[in-house]
Amino acid sequence: MASQTLREARKYEEMAEAQIPQEARPAFHLSPRAGWMNDPNGFSWYQGMYHMFYQYHPYSSYWGPMHWGHAVSRDLLHWEYLPAALAPDMPYDKDGCFSGSALELADGRQMLMYTGVLHEPQPDGSFHEIQTQCIALGDGRDYEKLPENPVLTEKALPEGGSRYDFRDPKAWLGEDGRYYCVAGNCTGDKDGQILLYSSADGLHWQYEGILAKNNGRFGRMWECPDFFELDGKHVLLTSPQDMLPRGFEYHNGNGTLCLIGSYEKEGHVFTEEHDQSIDYGIDFYAPQTVLTPDGRRVMIGWMQNWDTCNMRSQPKTWFGQMSLPRELSVREGRLYQKPVRELEELRRNKVEYHGVKVAGEALRLAGIEGRTVDMELEIAPAQGRELYRKFAVRFAQDQERHTAISFRPHESILKIDRKFSGSRRAIIHQRRSLVRHEGGALRLRIVLDRFSAEVFVWDGEQVLTATIDTPLSADGISFYADGEAVLDVVKYDLM
């Protein structure tokens, strides 16, 4: 039986959704039914559908008491909203149902495992968030919270583990038939660690140990972990807070981290071999993955940035969207990401050019335009000429506005820049990435969906993601080179 709090949220979101025209939303990225969206939660396959839950405040387009929104899809691109799944309506979660995960139990029920938040008053009049792990069980639409909640409390923390920063459980079924989950935590001095738990039935959990420790390397508190096997390696994804840049890695403050290594299952020992950012753009955080029925590991992240999300030029009826679903692989010890293959089913109206000389003034090509676009570029230096100094592609363009991707081969720097996109706020508008090139040759794939751009370098060796707020009437695309470059371009509309 849904609580009054949940019934009110469901009634409100249904009314509010009807006020948002479809053309005001992304075409194939999931946005909130109404109000505010942040972290993806419970990304799972259940009863023939992909389920995506999300951190959700239906009553305004700003962060508020966290609910769980809910949507389902058959192809990861077309989403149908279901009623909100969770609301903060119990003594242990009355101040928020924070992030978590979902899986199917042996009896066929879908389990949601989430972080319950309770504000505890302190002697000085301030409040601390007490964070515990809780469970709700349901049928893919309606869920009942366990009477035994919370199932993991401070009693299940290692010595020195903070009960104020203990959140975001990601659960899975192990090959041995046991259930496992990882959760983010930190020590009293805010140094991040990932904790591992196990369960025989998915309902009663026990502490196994510390899977990974920060030791002061990557920011502070580690949020939103995910842990899985991929291409013979084990991969730990997490989103550290307060990161410091290291060269061209980890520039986002609240950013993303991928650790690749080996895992000894007997002793639950994860040995790191490689670290990297997950996304090198401006807007990407808190990714979560699902194993698809055909065996692919697919990841979706929140396509936003905590440092810019409250600085907006205009009021909005909704805010926040998810990234394009990305198929993951590990190649030569590095994480690769590419758009899910289902995206190619949306391609229409192919336009193709080969060997186009780009030099000096901005070049427009007939048929190359639009705001829902899948575009593949191959850039090369002109034969027998000096290496070009800069190449740029500008999109979401009109007389006043554009967003740009530019590449300087002498520095090996790829930059995404939205300072001319129409923003009236001094938010983060640029991000640079060190990329590989072959004598000035570079391959890019740019996916545009109305209010976002995702740039895949060398078939997903690196990805740069950014949201844009440019009016949809700005649909021009142009190319520019300082020096002389040669361009091959294949462009599709995404319908």
Catalytic residues: 39
User: Is 71 in contact with 320 (CB distance < 8 Å)?
Assistant: no
Total H helices, total E strands in the chain: 1, 31
Tokens of 224: 């939103």
Distances (CA, A) of 383 to 199, 252, 388, 392: 62, 38, 11, 19
**CA 402, CA 127: separation in Å to the nearest integer?**
44
User: Is 358 in contact with 380 (CB distance < 8 Å)?
Assistant: no
**CA 90, CA 70: separation in Å to the nearest integer?**
20
Length of the chain: 495
CA atoms within 13 A on the CB side of 335: 29
Q: Shortest CA distance to 356 belongs to which of 491, 494, 493?
A: 491
Q: Shortest CA distance to 374 belongs to which of 299, 281, 449?
A: 449
User: Is 327 in contact with 337 (CB distance < 8 Å)?
Assistant: yes
- Bridge partners (DSSP) listed for residue 480: 392
Q: Determine the straight-line distance between the first and last CA of the chain, rounded to whole angstroms.
A: 40
**CA 358, CA 381: separation in Å to the nearest integer?**
10
360 phi-psi bin (left φ>0, alpha ψ -120 to 50, beta other): left
Q: Which DSSP string do the residues of 203-224 spell out, in sequence order? A: SSEEEEEEEEE-TTSS-SSEEE
Tokens of 300: 């979706």
